[in-house]
């Protein structure tokens, strides 16, 4: 198995037919001589000019292109040497191969594919590839032209090796995606693979071989040295169907998507590409002796393309805006749902689960950074009497009003939560004992002065008892359970000392918790 066999996965039976075919496409004599010179590291422009001049028709065409509006400079190109200097070695090779191949394989009669339609599409693809390459910053435009022109050369090879393959399927030329699918189903290969194999046999540069091989599968060109060139060829293939497709709008939409995906070319820029290609194809078709058919139709489609792309761009923008609004709505709903899971169903302030998570984070930060952390455990005094006197519904209303009062009296940096029953907690990060006592004093005063509504005629005052503990002041804690227990001990001391007061935790004077004395509740 040789290198070509290892590189191109072509069925052995198909490969045998291709190798035995006497009419397999190949560069004519002048093009072969130019290829040999270009592979010579010591080649110079004089030798290229000498070989090209052997073909008067080729010489004439090269001079015509050099002086065409596509390339014309400030002064007229008057001889072949000037033209070759302008095009360079690779540019001259490109033009020589392009003209020679079209001339040699452009006039056969066939009941399968149309040769004129084949070269017409190839010319459009070549021009599109060059224009796309300019937009993405590729400098060697002749490389782009030849890679685009030769991407379908495998179709010629397949038809010569298997004359029956395209009979009855010539209509697929106007839908290259459908043609590719047909070849895969029939041969388990396609003309892109065959074309790349053919170019490799001609010893053409690897960048052209790669671009042709991946023209129907640009994904496979990712992370290759010639990725951008390959993507230009792939997009040009989609774009080349536009002018002769039965459904140009669908083809244009697909090409626009591919141009944006692979080359990051926006729709407005693609409209400029289509306009440039239309003008260029019109100018060069006669030089290649290719019949474009109704050129007024091409101009009409060019005008429609800009409008179609603008409409599609607006549609995409509206879709993007709609998607953005939907995403924002979903994100908002998600945040709302997450917030609901952190809130107490009765009072609306944070619940015990959220309190536990916040306290764990704040204690860790306080211990790590060495800053204070205050925790106040708050109990509504004699709340059982509210339930017994006014009923549990009234008690629930008092709990709601008490929770909102606690939230209003807290600072933005504090976290107020319902601990359970009629108990609440307040986390005060970075707050020392003096600062925490100011906040707690404010709470005591607010509760003393607030009348909680029971009904339109009735209200009640509910005082609070507060157990306060400060991490990092008189003592420190290594876990939240110990910190909460210290606040709980201080709260019991406040209640047992007469209620409506603050007691700061003192581990030296830890009070005994009351038993079942109902007067303590």
Instruction: Tell me what pLDDT residue 162 has.
Output: 86
220 or 99, which is more confident?
220
- The yes-or-no verdict on residue 359 having pLDDT over 90 is yes
Alpha carbons 378 and 517: distance in angstroms, whole number: 20
In degrees to the nearest 10, what's the CA dihedral of 429, 408, 441, 350? -50
What is the crossing angle of helices 176-187 and 227-240, to 10°? 110
User: Would you state the structure tokens that stand for residue 19, as one six-digit string?
Assistant: 């190798």
- Percentage of the chain lying above the pLDDT 90 cut: 29
106 or 43, which is more confident?
43
Distance of CA 469 to the CA centre of its chain: 52
Instruction: Tell me what pLDDT residue 375 has.
Output: 96
**Segment 49-52 long-range contacts (CB within 8 Å, at least 24 positions apart):** 49/80, 49/81, 49/84, 52/80, 52/84, 52/92, 52/96
pLDDT tens per residue across span 62-83: 787 777 766 655 567 777 778 8
- The yes-or-no verdict on residue 338 having pLDDT over 70 is no
Residue 386 belongs to what H/E stretch? helix 383-390
Spatial strand order in the sheet of 502-504? 415-420, 423-429, 373-380, 464-471, 502-504
Over residues 443-450, mean pLDDT: 94
Over residues 178-203, mean pLDDT: 87
- The yes-or-no verdict on residue 337 having pLDDT over 70 is no
Domains and CATH numbers, the chain: 352-520 (3.30.70.270)
* Residue 87 β-bridge partners: none
| CB burial readout 343-369, b (16+ within 10 A) else e | ebeebebbbeebbeebbeebbeebbee
In degrees to the nearest 10, what's the CA dihedral of 497, 501, 505, 509? -20
Instruction: Tell me what pLDDT residue 379 has.
Output: 96
Instruction: Tell me what pLDDT residue 519 has.
Output: 38
438 or 119, which is more confident?
438
Instruction: Tell me what pLDDT residue 518 has.
Output: 37
Instruction: Tell me what pLDDT residue 515 has.
Output: 42
- The yes-or-no verdict on residue 221 having pLDDT over 80 is no
Distance of CA 330 to the CA centre of its chain: 20
Reported as a pLDDT band with limits 50, 70 and 90, residue 433 is very high
Over residues 12-40, mean pLDDT: 75
Alpha carbons 210 and 382: distance in angstroms, whole number: 85
511 or 407, which is more confident?
407
Instruction: Tell me what pLDDT residue 206 has.
Output: 85
- The yes-or-no verdict on residue 502 having pLDDT over 90 is yes
Over residues 203-222, mean pLDDT: 85
Positive or negative torsion for Cα 86, 89, 92, 98:
negative
355 or 288, which is more confident?
355
User: Would you state the structure tokens that stand for residue 123, as one six-digit string?
Assistant: 């010319």
Pairing of strands 415-420, 452-453: unpaired
Instruction: Tell me what pLDDT residue 2 has.
Output: 40
Over residues 400-414, mean pLDDT: 91
C-beta of residue 398 within 8 angstroms of C-beta of residue 461: no
Nearest to 13 by CA among 193, 152, 187: 187
Over residues 430-435, mean pLDDT: 92
* Mean residue pLDDT across the chain: 81
Over residues 286-298, mean pLDDT: 70
Instruction: Tell me what pLDDT residue 461 has.
Output: 93
Instruction: Tell me what pLDDT residue 514 has.
Output: 43
Q: Check: pTM over 0.75? Answer yes or no.
A: no
Distance of CA 437 to the CA centre of its chain: 54
Query: Radius of gyration over alpha carbons of the chain, in Å?
Result: 41
Instruction: Tell me what pLDDT residue 7 has.
Output: 56
C-beta of residue 213 within 8 angstroms of C-beta of residue 149: no
Instruction: Tell me what pLDDT residue 476 has.
Output: 86
- The yes-or-no verdict on residue 315 having pLDDT over 60 is no
In degrees to the nearest 10, what's the CA dihedral of 135, 136, 138, 139? 40
44 or 520, which is more confident?
44
């Amino acid at each position: 198995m040789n290198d070509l066999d290892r590189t191109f996965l072509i069925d052995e039976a198909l490969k045998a037919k291709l190798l035995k075919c006497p009419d397999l496409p190949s560069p004519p004599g002048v093009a072969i001589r130019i290829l040999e010179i270009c592979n010579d590291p010591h080649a110079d422009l004089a030798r290229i000019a000498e070989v090209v001049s052997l073909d008067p028709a080729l010489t004439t065409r090269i001079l015509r292109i050099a002086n065409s509006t596509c390339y014309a400079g400030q002064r007229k190109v008057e001889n072949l040497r000037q033209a070759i200097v302008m095009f360079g070695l690779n540019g001259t090779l490109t033009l020589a191969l392009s003209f020679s191949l079209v001339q040699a394989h452009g006039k056969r009669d066939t009941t399968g594919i149309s040769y004129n339609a084949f070269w017409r599409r190839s010319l459009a693809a070549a021009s599109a590839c060059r224009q796309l390459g300019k937009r993405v910053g590729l400098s060697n435009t002749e490389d782009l032209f030849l890679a685009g022109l030769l991407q379908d050369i495998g179709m010629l090879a397949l038809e010569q090796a298997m004359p029956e393959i395209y009979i009855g399927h010539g209509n697929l030329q106007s839908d290259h995606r459908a043609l590719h699918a047909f070849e895969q189903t029939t041969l388990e290969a396609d003309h892109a693979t065959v074309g790349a194999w053919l170019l490799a046999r001609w010893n053409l540069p690897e960048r052209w071989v790669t671009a042709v091989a991946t023209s129907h599968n640009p994904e496979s060109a990712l992370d290759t040295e010639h990725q951008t060139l390959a993507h230009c060829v792939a997009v040009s293939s989609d774009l080349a169907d536009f002018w002769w497709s039965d459904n140009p709008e669908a083809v244009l939409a697909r090409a626009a998507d591919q141009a944006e995906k692979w080359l990051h070319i926006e729709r407005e820029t693609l409209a400029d590409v289509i306009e440039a290609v239309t003008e260029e194809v019109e100018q060069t078709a006669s030089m290649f002796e290719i019949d474009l058919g109704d050129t007024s139709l091409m101009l009409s489609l060019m005008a429609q393309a800009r409008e179609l792309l603008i409409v599609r761009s607006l549609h995409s923008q509206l879709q993007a805006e709609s998607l953005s609004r939907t995403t924002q709505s979903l994100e908002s709903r998600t945040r709302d749902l997450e917030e609901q899971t952190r809130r107490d169903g009765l009072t609306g302030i944070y619940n015990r689960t959220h309190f536990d998570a916040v306290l764990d984070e704040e204690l860790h930060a306080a211990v790590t950074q060495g800053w204070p952390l205050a925790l106040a455990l708050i109990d509504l005094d004699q709340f059982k009497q509210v339930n017994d006197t006014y009923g549990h519904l009234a008690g629930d209303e008092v709990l709601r009003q008490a929770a909102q009062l606690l939230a209003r009296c807290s600072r933005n940096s504090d976290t107020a939560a319902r601990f359970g029953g009629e108990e609440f907690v307040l986390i005060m990060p970075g707050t020392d004992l003096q600062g925490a006592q100011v906040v707690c004093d404010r709470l005591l005063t607010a509760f003393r002065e607030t009348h909680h509504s029971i009904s339109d005629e009735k209200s009640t005052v509910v005082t609070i008892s507060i157990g306060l503990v400060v991490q990092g002041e008189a003592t420190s804690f290594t876990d939240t359970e110990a910190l909460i227990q210290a606040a709980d001990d201080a709260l019991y001391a406040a209640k047992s000392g007469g209620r409506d007061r603050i007691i700061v935790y003192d581990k030296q004077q830890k009070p005994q918790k009351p038993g079942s004395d109902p007067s303590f509740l």
